Amino acid sequence: MDQGLKGALGLTGPEACLAYYRDWAANYDSGFASEMQYLLPAHVAATYMATGAGGPVLDVGAGTGLLAQALRDMGFRPDIDAADFSAEMLERAAQKNIYAGTFRVDITQPIDLPRRYAGLVSSGTFTAGHVGPEALPHLLAIALPQAQFALSINRRVWQARGFDVALDDLARQARITDLQLIEVEVYGAAAARIDADHAADRALIALFRAA
Ligand SMILES: C[S@@+](CC[C@H](N)C(=O)[O-])C[C@H]1O[C@@H](n2cnc3c(N)ncnc32)[C@H](O)[C@@H]1O
């Protein structure tokens, strides 16, 4: 099985995405994340930490748990839950013993979790072949008032999938406040040797608060 970044970014729907991550879960950390020097989870974690927000936190599209691991490495102690629709990715995440709970959910649909989160963080889930802005209202529905969001959105899909318009609309409707965008590199220098097409990818970390 030859799973990798190129295939992941070309996924065309939820069924294809689920099948892809079923096979990618086993070597996602040791292959993709390590070889591409995947910096994005640490960037999102540092950005969330800098807000001073607490927990409980939901890691959205948690995958194998790299973002929660980065938060823990930075000293974040409150509960973190993982939400992802891939059972195989969640199984890897659970093995790391960093999550209070792991939940199999499709974030493009209404999410069957209580409104209990003071923070919602995400790295790598809002990208090509993955999830668009249709998930944002579902995430707001499980966020406490004033909950802090830190969501990475790949530059390639920022306008192409309408994240710019969706976030502006939510701000105009006063459903979110304090919107800030922080641009970061997705990968480190080592990525150029592995995948020249994506090595220079950048993401915007959308920081905002639920109303
Ligand atoms: C590139 S991985 C990122 C994983 C992790 N956050 C990281 O940075 O390593 C994208 C994750 O989004 C999940 N995902 C994709 N579509 C989803 C959906 N509709 N609902 C929930 N999770 C989804 C995939 O299963 C996968 O684990």
CA distances from 75 to 3, 69, 147 (A): 32, 10, 20
Contact 57, 116 (CB under 8 A): no
Q: Kindly give the number of the ligand 1 atom that is closest to the alpha carbon of 107.
A: 20
Q: pLDDT 10s per residue in the chain (211 long)?
A: 356 677 777 777 788 888 888 888 999 999 999 999 999 999 999 999 999 999 999 999 999 999 999 999 999 999 999 999 999 999 999 999 999 999 999 999 999 999 999 999 999 999 988 999 999 999 999 999 999 999 999 999 999 999 999 999 999 999 999 999 999 999 999 999 999 999 999 999 999 999 9
Q: Rounded distance, CA 151 to CA 13, Å? A: 21
Q: Whose CA is nearest to atom 27 of ligand 1?
A: 63
Q: Rounded distance, CA 61 to CA 74, Å? A: 20
pLDDT of 129 reads 87
Residue type, 55: G
Q: What confidence tens digit (pLDDT) does each residue in 65-103 have? A: 999 999 999 999 999 999 999 999 999 999 999 999 999
Q: Whose CA is nearest to atom 13 of ligand 1?
A: 61
Mutation to probe ligand 1, out of 59, 98, 125, 131 (largest number of atoms < 8 A from CB): 125
Pairing between strand 202-210 and 176-185? antiparallel
What are the structural domains, with CATH classification, of the chain? 5-210 (3.40.50.150)
* Ligand 1 geometric centre to CA of 169 (Å): 25
Render 118-182 in DSSP notation, one character per residue: EEEEEEEEESTTS--GGGHHHHHTTEEEEEEEEEEEEHHHHTTTTHHHHHHHHHHTTSEEEEEEE
Q: Whose CA is nearest to atom 26 of ligand 1?
A: 63
Q: Rounded distance, CA 106 to CA 193, Å? A: 34
* Ligand 1 geometric centre to CA of 68 (Å): 13
Pocket lined around ligand 1, Cβ cut-off 6 Å: 14, 17, 21, 40-41, 61-63, 66-67, 84-86, 89, 106-108, 123-125, 130-131
